Amino acid sequence: MPREGRFFDYFNAHTEQVVLAARELVALVTDMENAAIHIEKIDAIETSADKINHDAMALLHKSFITPFDRDAIHALVTSTDDIVDSIQDVAESMSLYNIRRITPDAIQLAELSLSCCERLKQAVKLIDNMENSADVLTTCREIDQLESDCDRVMRSALSRVFRDERDAVQIIKMKAIYEGLEKITDHCQDAGKVIEGIVLENA
């Protein structure tokens, strides 16, 4: 595919930040004693991702030739940025709500989010060559499956917290955390759908 404008460099750099943020989120939920350190790192990653997003958008507006449809480029950059923002939202919510104990369900949701982000990075890395279209589509299907797994885990987690937790405030807090974690995989799925569209239109 045409490489004008360094778009693929931006796509890869952006998904690298996505994976870094997701890894730091897993570190956060498994190392609550050092929560402040992990949240600070996530904030720094989000700032880096924002700069990449800004540069990619600026390039899109001034480029005459783009590797594929402009709307698709915009949608991919935006949905990728939404992932990092959602990770930051979860981290900040954990700080705001003063979460001191985390559940195995939350850890599992964070790990599923990381797996989703890693698959997205893999798919983005392959889209500069449409000979990779079959592998890209397979990876996008894996993202869909992980998002479905995350939905299932979240429903189970919500059922468990409403059934077993006696502290109403803790229920409200964990419900927000679970839903925030699930939203990360929703945005990964959104990005995966954009990539699927790019492949189907250009392969």
CATH of the domain at 119: 1.20.58.220
Say whether 129 sits in a helix, a strand or coil. Answer: coil
This prediction has a pTM of 0.93
DSSP for residue 128: T
- Asked if 121 and 16 count as a contact pair (C-beta separation under 8 A), the reply is yes
Q: Which domain holds residue 13?
A: 4-202
Strand (E) positions, the chain?
A: none
CA distance 150 to 183: 9
Tokens for 123? 């798919």
pLDDT in tens, 69-105: 899 999 999 999 999 999 999 999 999 999 888 999 9
Which residues make Cβ contacts (< 8 Å) with residue 4, sequence separation at least 6? 63, 65, 66, 67
Give the mean model confidence (pLDDT) for residues 186-194: 97
Chain segment 8-49, per-residue pLDDT in tens: 999 999 999 999 999 999 999 999 999 999 999 999 999 999
d(CA 18, CA 58): 20
In angstroms, the CA 24 to CA 39 distance is 8
Q: Around 135, how many Cα atoms within 13 Å sit in the side-chain half-sphere? A: 13
| Total count of domains within the chain | 1
**Is the pLDDT score of 4 beyond 70?**
no
